[in-house]
Structure 1
Amino acid sequence: MTAEQTRSLLTVCLMAAFADGHNDPREREHVRRTAEALSAQAGLDVMALYQDVLLKRVTLEQAVTGLDTLELKQLAFEMAVGVCDADGVHDAGETAFLDRLSELLALGRRESAAIIRDADALADAPVNRPLPEAPPVAVPSIPAGPDQTELDRMILNAAILNGALELLPESLASMAIIPLQTRLVYRVGKAHGFELDRGHITDFLATVGVGLTSQYVEQFGRKLVGGLLGKVLGRVGRTIGSEATGSAFSFATTYALGHVARRYYADGRRLDAAALKASFAQLLDNARGLQQRYAPEIAERARTLDLKKLTAELGR
């Protein structure tokens, strides 16, 4: 993939992140930090792209000029839909953005509609459902009752599943990660006697430092600068990518999120924002070290994962 193609994809990605026109300040800060992190990894100044998009120094017409193959155009649209739907089904501003993008990319109406339909189904997936069943995974032995052991297992299985999803090349795989994380927080809260709605969960994630839109931008950006998208684009193929950075990121984020939610709801939701952020940061560091231990389970889950079945389960 050329530098111009990479620049075009990242610019469209950032435009999608701001297409609603009313981002939560916390989410905007998450996107800014993501751009900084990607600049450190890529041979491209993503922060400059971020500033160009934020200050409207680049148009969508200019952004798509580097997308000169059908595969890149499809990938750009799938990615944009995923970003717009990361915090829920896209609103009127995001719909207008996606319509314009599809027109500029000269994609077929039926193809664009199918991509949007699949993403919307995940974005609107109910949170108050069980997590998908997983193969048994051994958890570290701890002095805890059976309920706590089950919570450990549930959080670990969710982290392994999300790590496995990031090894798959399909865009829909990355789109499934956020619904699984919100469902995990719901299950943890319910286990402690709290019935949570989507708005509360979204606010909880933002408070601990997990942005919805920015997380999808980071997932996509990591794959792009890591070279995976240069091997397999969009929905083409079923080969597991060799780049494991995104997988480690999703495993660690999900694992830390599950355990910080466990602390928060076990304490009766008394932890303040600063304590939540500090706790999440500590858990995230621990989870990064733990990921290598479960790398074989993550790879095996990716090899056996039926993505269509999983997304169908999420939508029920």
Structure 2
Amino acid sequence: MNPQQTRAIVTISLLAAFADGRKDSAEREHVRRVAESLGDAADLDFMRLYQDVLLGRADLGAAAAALDTLELRQLAFEMAVGVVEADGRHDPAETAFLQKLEAALKLDHDQAETTVHRAEEVAEAPVAGGLPAEVAPAAVVAAASAAPLPDRAELDRMILNAAILNGALELLPQSMASMAIIPLQLRLVYRIGKSYGYELDRGHITDFLAAAGVGMTGQYVEQIGRKLVGGLLGKVFGGLGRGVGGTATGAAFSFATTWAIGKVAISYYGGGRKLDTAALKAEFTEWFGQAKGLQQQYAGQIAERARTVDLAQITSSLRG
């Protein structure tokens, strides 16, 4: 993609992030931090694009017009759908935005509807569902229903495997791979909470993550930004949904985020849910920093998992 096309996809993704017109302050803050962290990487000028969207200077029609191939237009629509569905909610304002985007991109209506439906199924997956076999050791599953205290070593192994899987999913060019990461993180927290005797629902888990500084919409926007920085979305010209991307940028981010989420969940639920918001954010920041260092150690396993992961099986299990 040329710089103009890249900026167009980022602009559309940011417009999708604020399409409901009422994103809470924590979510806006997360997206702002994303814009700051990516800055001028890969000539995106992410912060300026973010400001243009907030100030109403960004034009959806102009962004759509910059995407001159069907593949790029489909990709932009998939990215926008992922942003809208990241928090598991899809309100009328967001529905109207996607309809407007579909028209601007001149997409086939039935195909666009299929994209939205598949994304909804993954985004709204029950948090109480199972994790892929590689992520949920039998001892942890048993602890969740029987033992008063889980085996900490098994929980740590579950977190590591979840981080490796999500890092691997981030290496895949399919948009559905990125969409699966957040539901898998929600299920990881559910499993950890349950292992300590807490029966959690989606609302509680998303509140817990928001308190730790992890916004669902912001995280997905960051995934898109880092893929663009790493050049992975350029794989679109080799065919959507085929092959493994040649960048570890997004993989390191998703590995570290998942690792930190799991570690903070152990501290929070294992400690009787006594940490306040400031403590949760401090712990997440500390674990995230450690995980960024660990990612290099597991880079080979992440790459191998990306080559062997069955994305269809994972999304099917999420959809139930």
Report the TM-score when normalising by structure 2.
0.93
String of CA shifts for 1:253-299, please: whole Å, max 9, x gaps.
00010010100011111011111111111111111111111111111
The residue aligned with 1:70 is 70
Residues 249-260 of structure 1 aligned to structure 2 (within 5 Å): 249-260=253-264
The residue aligned with 1:293 is 297
Give structure 1 stretches of 5+ with no counterpart: 138-144
Q: Against the structure 1 CA distance between its residues 135 and 88, is the aligned structure 2 distance closer, same or farther, given a 3 Å change threshold? A: closer
The residue aligned with 2:218 is 214
Q: Against the structure 1 CA distance between its residues 122 and 247, is the aligned structure 2 distance closer, same or farther, given a 3 Å change threshold? A: same
String of CA shifts for 1:159-212, please: whole Å, max 9, x gaps.
011000001110000000000001111111111111111111111111111110
| Distance (whole Å) between structure 2 residues aligned to residue 219 and residue 185 of structure 1 | 20
Q: CA RMSD in A?
A: 1.6
Aligned residues: 309
Contact map agreement 1:192 1:265 (CA 8 A) in 2: yes
String of CA shifts for 1:95-143, please: whole Å, max 9, x gaps.
0000010011110011101111110001110001221111799xxxxxx
The residue aligned with 1:194 is 198
Q: Against the structure 1 CA distance between its residues 74 and 233, is the aligned structure 2 distance closer, same or farther, given a 3 Å change threshold? A: farther
Aligned partner of 1:168 among 167, 172, 177? 172
| Distance (whole Å) between structure 1 residues aligned to residue 239 and residue 275 of structure 2 | 42
Contact map agreement 1:131 1:183 (CA 8 A) in 2: yes
String of CA shifts for 1:143-162, please: whole Å, max 9, x gaps.
xx971121111111110110
The residue aligned with 1:21 is 21
| Distance (whole Å) between structure 1 residues aligned to residue 175 and residue 16 of structure 2 | 15
Query: Alpha-carbon deviation of 1:56?
Result: 0.8
The residue aligned with 1:127 is 127
Aligned partner of 2:209 among 183, 205, 211? 205
Q: Against the structure 1 CA distance between its residues 235 and 314, is the aligned structure 2 distance closer, same or farther, given a 3 Å change threshold? A: farther
| Distance (whole Å) between structure 1 residues aligned to residue 56 and residue 263 of structure 2 | 39
Q: Against the structure 1 CA distance between its residues 37 and 233, is the aligned structure 2 distance closer, same or farther, given a 3 Å change threshold? A: farther
| Distance (whole Å) between structure 1 residues aligned to residue 35 and residue 177 of structure 2 | 22
What's the % identity of the aligned pairs?
63
The residue aligned with 1:226 is 230
Q: Which amino acid in the other structure matches residue 174 of structure 2? A: E
The residue aligned with 1:141 is none
Query: Alpha-carbon deviation of 1:89?
Result: 3.4
Q: Against the structure 1 CA distance between its residues 103 and 126, is the aligned structure 2 distance closer, same or farther, given a 3 Å change threshold? A: same
Query: Alpha-carbon deviation of 1:234?
Result: 9.8
The residue aligned with 1:10 is 10
The residue aligned with 2:54 is 54
Contact map agreement 1:155 1:259 (CA 8 A) in 2: yes
Q: Against the structure 1 CA distance between its residues 28 and 243, is the aligned structure 2 distance closer, same or farther, given a 3 Å change threshold? A: same
| Distance (whole Å) between structure 2 residues aligned to residue 224 and residue 101 of structure 1 | 20
The residue aligned with 1:116 is 116
| Distance (whole Å) between structure 2 residues aligned to residue 297 and residue 99 of structure 1 | 40
Q: Name the SS of the counterpart of 1:67 in structure 2.
A: coil
Q: Which amino acid in the other structure matches residue 238 of structure 1? A: R
Q: Against the structure 1 CA distance between its residues 235 and 83, is the aligned structure 2 distance closer, same or farther, given a 3 Å change threshold? A: farther
| Distance (whole Å) between structure 1 residues aligned to residue 46 and residue 289 of structure 2 | 25
Q: Name the SS of the counterpart of 2:214 in structure 1.
A: coil
| Distance (whole Å) between structure 2 residues aligned to residue 242 and residue 20 of structure 1 | 34
| Distance (whole Å) between structure 2 residues aligned to residue 286 and residue 229 of structure 1 | 28
Matched, 1:153 2:163: no
Query: Alpha-carbon deviation of 1:63?
Result: 2.1
Q: Against the structure 1 CA distance between its residues 229 and 285, is the aligned structure 2 distance closer, same or farther, given a 3 Å change threshold? A: same
More deviation in 18-27 or 229-238? 229-238
Matched, 1:280 2:284: yes
Q: Which amino acid in the other structure matches residue 21 of structure 1? A: G
Report the TM-score when normalising by structure 1.
0.94
The residue aligned with 2:144 is none
Q: Which amino acid in the other structure matches residue 64 of structure 1? A: A
Contact map agreement 1:184 1:258 (CA 8 A) in 2: yes
String of CA shifts for 1:197-243, please: whole Å, max 9, x gaps.
11111111111111100111110111112111112369724211111
